[in-house]
Amino acid sequence: MMSSKIIANGILRAIAAIVLVGLGLYFLYLIQSVIIYLVVAFILTLIGNPILDFFKQKLKFNHIFATVATLSVYFLIIIGLLLLFVPLIMTQGESLSLLNTAEIEKNIVQLFDKIAIYLDSHNIDSKKVFKEANLGSKLDFSFIPNLFNHIINALSSFGVGLASVLFITFFFLKDRINFIIAAKQLIPEPQEEKILNSLHKINHLLSRYFIGLLLQLFIVFVLYLIVLLIFGVQNAIVIAFLCAILNIVPYIGPLIASFVAALLTMLSNLGGDFQTQMLPLTIYVMIGFWIVQLIDNNVSSPIIFSKSVSSHPLEIFLVVLIAGFLFGIIGMIVAIPFYTILKVFGKEFFPENIIIKLLTKNI
């Protein structure tokens, strides 16, 4: 039997471990901004590696000059996006009343009044419909001022964050060879070759994945914009941009984008008659968005992502679906990169496993 002294020491060690873990998590919470900077810089590095190699191999730049040129590409893209979208969002955002809580509530009430008139004219009891839906208790716009304050704070620190991310990205790109050499010293010698091969493949596949993600968002943005312009929807660029960003969340994002597009389309055209103008326009826009999503889900996304991470489209769908059930929206966003990392390590360390052979035959 264990003595009371041994039991007491075990309890103390367990308590100490819990305290240390708690302090570690609290420390990570305090430096969450730094962690975000590192993650964003890592993603930019993965995207920038092919650009860096292009400057070095095709244009014969030396390593430092190629790194500076790659950062310059990022800087020009960021400046271009700011010059294009910030004035546009500010001017069109005002017309959408996105920043005015009272105006939003007024517009929503006006929209409901028009819907009620339409339902009553078709012998549908609008009061009963709204009561059963319990919309009144679900529509709470008090979060908008707080959200706006968070956006203002984020914009105020945007310069510091951007400078930090680009600074970190510069050294990630410039010293990637030194990082590999340092990693070799930390890796156990028997596993060195497998781990380094895994890291090389992961770098290659994730670089292709994030470039493919940017390409997919751009394609969706252009298609959404075309739909909105065809039907003459006001504030088309802003609505298309917001809905395209939502596509970062696989499968669920496009559904939310359809709802957002429908709501903003109606709010942008409150001056028209509901039955003859607003409702048909909204239906046409939603049909157009659904067609875009069919194209994206069945053509562009499977081709882009299956090629970029060397996985079957059905495989990607199941992975995203499982990750969504287990970890929610965040799980769906990180599912493909994380699954790709697992596949690469599986191929290197368990190459004879039948399941891993089937899943990694294209890697």
pLDDT digits (tens, 9 = 90+) for 165-202: 889 989 988 888 787 777 677 777 777 778 778 878 88
pLDDT reported for residue 274: 66
Give residue limits of the domains in the chain: 190-363
pLDDT (average), residues 214-238: 87
Helix (H, G, I), strand (E, B), or coil: what is residue 251? coil
pLDDT reported for residue 226: 92
Per residue in 254-274, pLDDT tens?
888 888 888 878 777 666 666
Q: State if pTM tops 0.75.
A: no
Residue 46 pLDDT exceeds 70:
yes
Instruction: Give which of 39, 49, 44 is closest to 77, Cα–Cα.
Output: 44
Q: Which residues of 220-245 are buried (b: 16+ CB within 10 A; e: fewer)?
A: bbebbbebbeeeebebbbbbbbbbbe
**Where do runs of H (alpha helix) occur along 139-278?**
143-156, 158-174, 176-186, 192-230, 236-246, 252-268
C-alpha radius of gyration, the chain, whole number: 26
Asked whether 275 and 118 are in contact (CB, 8 A), the reply is yes
Residue 96 pLDDT exceeds 50:
no
Tokens of 115: 């819907």
Tokens of 347: 């191929």
Asked whether 230 and 288 are in contact (CB, 8 A), the reply is yes
Q: Which residues of 196-209 are buried (b: 16+ CB within 10 A; e: fewer)?
A: eebbebbbbbbbbb
Helix (H, G, I), strand (E, B), or coil: what is residue 174? helix
Asked whether 243 and 257 are in contact (CB, 8 A), the reply is yes
Instruction: Give which of 220, 225, 228 is closest to 284, Cα–Cα.
Output: 228
Residue 160 pLDDT exceeds 80:
no
pLDDT reported for residue 132: 53
pLDDT reported for residue 156: 55
What single DSSP character describes residue 233?
-
Tally of helices (H runs) and strands (E runs) in the chain: 16, 0
Instruction: Give which of 197, 208, 210, 207 is closest to 344, Cα–Cα.
Output: 197
Per residue in 315-326, pLDDT tens?
888 888 898 888
